[in-house]
Each structure stands twice: as structure tokens, then as C-alpha cells.
Amino acid sequence: MLKRFSMVFLTMVFAIVALFIAAKYPTGPNTVSFDEPVGLLISLGMLVALFLPPLIFSFFNNLTIKVISAIYQAFIVISFLIIIPIGFFVPAFPIIIIGVLGAIVSICSIIVTILVGLKKKNLALNSS
């Protein structure tokens, strides 16, 4: 449980860092920036709210909940993968780095979500 929670939490931290980097390099008047703190706080609140389901799901050890959490986290991986080409269009190297690191951590989080607890169940089934 702690491994799954920490991986999802680390993914959320990368997403928050990506939001702050995007606020540092605004591309236009309608994007998130440090000049409009209300918009930044709303974006931060939405980001945390979107990470609540996988954070809550990480406390449960049911296979169905794990699969639902992994599917939800797959959308987060896609979001980080979309950030990578945006970093090339907007000449900002930190956005590319956060996109790559976030995608790697998110994929590892999916693997940990699915695999943690399976060895114990397989050992219990084989020993009986």
C-alpha cells in the first residue's frame, strides 16, 4: 500500500512541478502564469482533485480497484507524453525534462500498482 501511494504521490509532485514550470514560461495571455495567482491556484486545485482517485485507490488491495487505478494512471501517462512535444514547440527545456520524468514515474507507478501484492497471493495459492 505504501509503495503504491508513494508512487502516485510522486507522480502528483511531478505534475505540480510541471504546472509551476508552465506558469514560469507562459505562451500567451490565456495560459496559466504567476501574474494571475487565482488562475494558478484554481489549476493547482484541479490538479490535486484529479489525483485524488488514484491516491484513494492506492489504499485498497482489490484487483479490480488496481486495474481501474492503472487505467486512470494511463491517462496521466498520456498527459505527460503530450507535454514532451509541447516543450519542443515552446523552447523550454525544463518542460521536456519534467514530461519525460513524469512519464517514466507514471509508468513505474502503473507497474507497481498492478504487481504489488501479486507475489503474496501467488505464494498463498501455491502453498495450499
**pLDDT (tens digit, 9 = 90+) per residue, 18-73?**
999 989 888 888 888 898 899 999 999 999 999 999 999 999 888 899 999 999 99
CA distance 124 to 128: 6
Among 48, 49, 67, smallest CA distance to 57 is for: 67
| HSE-up (13 A, CA, CB side) for residue 87 | 18
DSSP string, 3-28: HHHHHHHHHHHHHHHHHHHHHHS--S
pLDDT score, position 86? 87
Give the pLDDT band (50/70/90) at residue 87: confident
Under 8 Å between Cβ of 110 and 119: no
Structural domain harbouring 65: 2-127
Average pLDDT, the chain: 88
pLDDT score, position 89? 86
Q: Please state the pTM of the whole predicted model.
A: 0.85
Give the pLDDT band (50/70/90) at residue 119: low
Share of the chain above pLDDT 70, in %: 92
pLDDT score, position 124? 57
**Which class for 105: exposed (0-12), middle (13-18), buried (19 or more C-beta within 10 A)?**
buried
Q: Which residues contact 47 (CB under 8 A, 6 or more apart)?
A: 12, 15, 16, 19
CA distance 105 to 12: 10
Q: Who wins on pLDDT, 98 or 92? A: 98
Under 8 Å between Cβ of 100 and 84: yes
pLDDT surpassing 70 at residue 125: no
pLDDT score, position 121? 60
Domain count, the chain: 1
